[in-house]
Structure 1
Amino acid sequence: MTVRAGREFLALPGPTTIPDEVLRAMHRPALDIYSKPMVDLTEGLLRDLSKLFATKGKSYIYIANGHGAWEAVLSNVLSRGDKVLVLESGSFAVGWGNAARAMGAKVEVLRGDWTRAVRASEVEALLRADKDHTIKAILVTQVDTASGVVNDIEKIGKTIRAAGHPALYMVDAVASLGCMPFEMDKWGIDVAMSGSQKGLMTPPGLGFVAVSERASAVHQAANMRTPYWDWTERDGIEHYRRYAGTPPVHLLFALRQAVDMLFDEGLENVFGRHQLLAEAVRRAVAVWSERHVLSFNIREDSERSNVVTTVLMGSGYDPMRLHHYCNDKCGVVLGIGISNLQGRAFRIAHMGHVNAPMILGALGVVEIGLKAIGIPHGKGGIEAAIAHLGERVRP
């Protein structure tokens, strides 16, 4: 017997739930790709992407996922043999660094603990020791969806400037853009990248890159440049060069609708919604953890992200049993533990097109699953989440 009839809920960190309005926006014929409406669509999206990144710099749209956007960033500002510094706090900055190595860069990793954020003091010490400025770029994620950590991007940027180091500061905002504050210019970020399938509520397939003037200047001498990713090629007069060929018209229709929805809600309200729902999840997990089988992967509450919570499962219990139960019996798809946490954790996403009933429903299903499978947990997690929202969401 199951109770999963009805709409399946994706509680995994990407792709996230796509709003009905976004799905409907794609259900129309393609545009003439040489027409003024097509040009206007592109130019409007590029302007609004720069607004989301909070930069006066240019933005670019790629027909690619986040891994493609990684390559776009690297190939446009690096030359073969350049050294990059990777700030580890989970899986994805390291993955970005691996891409750089495969493309011909030298890579140094500032090893991190998957239970905490990057320590700015460690970054500063390493940069001050690099007296010859051999490091050309620094790679970090704002949120790592494997570990569930959020890094203090503003503080790291201040540290880089305090060290007087000229390396480009490059940030992966795939899991954070449109969910939490991101201030590219204010925080001294040189290049930022993101993707369509998380906070931007659009199907996978679009990658975004935002570029400062300093990065644009470095770009001129970079020798990793290839035709598809090249910013100079995409700055050409002909509109089709914005996409290195045929535009992804229907994904652009979807993105236009999704961005409009974010602006209509108001970014501060969007950020506040994510914070409230994330804290509701954390209140539930804290109660479940009272039996010492479940626990937060990220130790410090202030370093737990507002977009995904990674929950460790110990004492020999298998998180995949919970994953299968929630999906097969109840229609809630949790995130699995990945990379170093494979087989040790599950993840609850709370990003993008989410509201209180969706999050409370997901938490309720997790609590049902814990009871049904017999995984020891503190009782009353869902009540704690409800109490939090009842206190904070006032009439």
Structure 2
Amino acid sequence: MAQNSSRPVGRHHLHIPGPTPVPDRILRAMDTPIIDHRGPEFAKLAKRCLDGVKTIFKTTNPVIIYTATGTGAWEAALVNTLSPGDKVLVYETGQFSNLWKAMAEKLGLKPEVMASDWRTGADPAKIEARLAEDKNKEIKAVCVLHNETSTGCLSPVNEIRKAIDKANHPALLLVDTISSLASTDYRHDEWGVDVTVGGAQKGLMLPPGMSFNAISDKALAANKTAKLPKAFLAWDEMLNMNKVGFFPYTPATQMLQGLAVAIDMLHEEGLDNVFARHNRLAEATRRAVKAWGFDIICKDPKYYSPTITSVLTPEGVDADAFRALALSNFNVSYGASFGRFAGKMFRIGHLGDINDGDMLGGLAVTEMALTLANIPHKKGGVQAAMDYIASAHAKPSRAAAE
């Protein structure tokens, strides 16, 4: 009998910038009997997660866990701190910053957009200058994506906080870390962030369906006077129930089982080691892309993302057709293109539970797909990545020998 040639063999090369591959250990943790979400066993699990996730955000303040994707946490950050007609400053770094802006409009806020070419992160100096102009303090919040998922540009959140302070402005700082949390250094408390938005399906290595708000004392104070409508997303009810290990509605029990293990795994590796691994894989990917002769959407190295590399394809090349060819022939998925770069780029994700071999395998099939698609490129991208990774691993041993 002939084999079914339509069955993909082996594991899928998932190199989208999230959702990321879910480790077997987390899958096993979620593959357990449902427990009573009002019983003592659940309370222990909830407290383990609520306390543990603070260490990922690097905060001692509450972190609220929602049964929703990151979009829900976006909305929660806005409705729990702001009132109808409030002006918010949104720095446009790409497609997802624009989506957050569009949500603000739908909620009855007045977003002011700081436009960019989508090829850098947010500029603290420009934010400082705009806030300094706001003599009447009409701007109530500054919304920034730590890592713009559509372009692969990382914004300097710590410097943005300093810029707000230099302008002597009371605006809240709201930061989206959906594609950076648990993948690159982030410090909610130390950097003075008021609301940090996070998602479970990327650096935290979980399936989609869970998101977070880490909140400062200043955000909690703003919550007392915020007048935007809220019910499911309201902080006050969540905080009251969380104190005793429960939720005001039926929570995603199995996601919490997975979250507890994900937090354990991150600390077993060590957060600094997690960040170093992501930086290594990101640099290896960029070296491959440059060796192929392609441009990276993020044009300034100081804004390079540790989790996503957006690749600009040559003039006349349909990036989405290339993605389809690569999937069909090599079972690899890349991130889609958006907005002003629609059809002109593809995004390589290098985040979550992936190692050097996983990344090199993904880059190897990329180079083969470029050849199959007859896209003009130079050879040797994978070799450049291999050389870099080998040298990165050799450095610690050399230092020890010295």
Give the TM bin, normalised by the shorter chain: over 0.9
Unpaired segments ≥5 residues, structure 2: 398-402
Aligned to 1:315: 315
* Structure 1 runs, 4 residues or longer, greater than 4 Å off: 1-4, 237-242
1:74-113 Cα shifts (integer Å, max 9, x gaps): 1100011111000111111221121111111111011112
Match in the other structure for 2:149: 145
Which one is further off, 356-365 or 107-116? Answer: 107-116
Displacement of 1:238: 7.6
> Is residue 228 of structure 2 the alignment partner of residue 221 of structure 1?
no
In the TM superposition, residue 66 of structure 1 has moved relative to its aligned partner by: 0.6
How many Å apart are 1:377 and its aligned residue?
0.8
1:285 alignment counterpart: 289
TM-aligned CA distance change 1:327 to 1:240, over 3 Å: farther
Counterpart of 1:248 (choices 243, 252, 259) is: 252
Gap change, CA 1:95 and 1:241, over 3 Å in 2: farther
Q: Tell me, what secondary structure is at the counterpart of 2:80? A: helix
Counterparts of 1:191 and 1:317, CA distance in 2: 40
Matched, 1:81 2:74: no
CA contact (8 A) 1:57 1:211 kept: yes
Letter in 2 for 1:284: A
Any idea what SS the aligned residue of 2:168 has? coil
Whether contact under 8 Å (1:233, 1:241) holds in the other structure is: no
**What does residue 208 of structure 2 align with?**
204
Deviations 1:286-311 (A, max 9, x none): 1112xxxx311111122110100000
Name the counterpart of 2:298. Answer: 298
Amino acid at match of 1:317: V
Runs of at least 5 residues in structure 1 that lack an aligned partner in the other structure: none
Once the 2 structures are TM-superposed, how far is the Cα of residue 169 of structure 1 from its aligned partner? 0.5
**Aligned sequence identity (%):** 38
Alignment map for 1:84-103 (pairs within 5 Å): 84-103=88-107
DSSP 3-state at the match of 1:311: strand
- 2:335 is paired with a residue whose SS is strand
- 1:26-65 matches, cutoff 5 A: 26-65=30-69
Contact conserved, 2:15 with 2:362, CA < 8 A, in 1?
yes
State the secondary structure of the residue aligned to 2:41.
helix
Measure how far apart 1:225 and its partner are.
4.0
The farther-off stretch of 242-251 and 206-215 is: 242-251
Q: Secondary structure at the match of 1:16?
A: coil
* CA deviation after TM superposition for structure 1 residue 321, in Å: 2.7
Structure 1 letter corresponding to 2:119: T
Aligned-pair CA distance for 1:64: 0.4
Report how many residues are paired.
391
- Give 2:191's match in structure 1, choosing from 175, 187, 190: 187
How much has 1:188 moved relative to structure 2? Answer: 1.2
Deviation at 1:149, TM superposition (A): 0.4
- Cα deviation digits, residues 200-244 of structure 1 (max 9, x gap): 000000010000001101100111141211111112248799543
Give the TM-score normalised by structure 2: 0.94
Residue in 2 aligned with 1:122?
126
TM-score by length of 1: 0.96
Report what 1:266 is aligned to: 270
2:351 — aligned with what? 351
- Output the CA distance in 2 between the equivalents of 1:303 and 1:51: 25
**2:325: which partner in 1?**
325
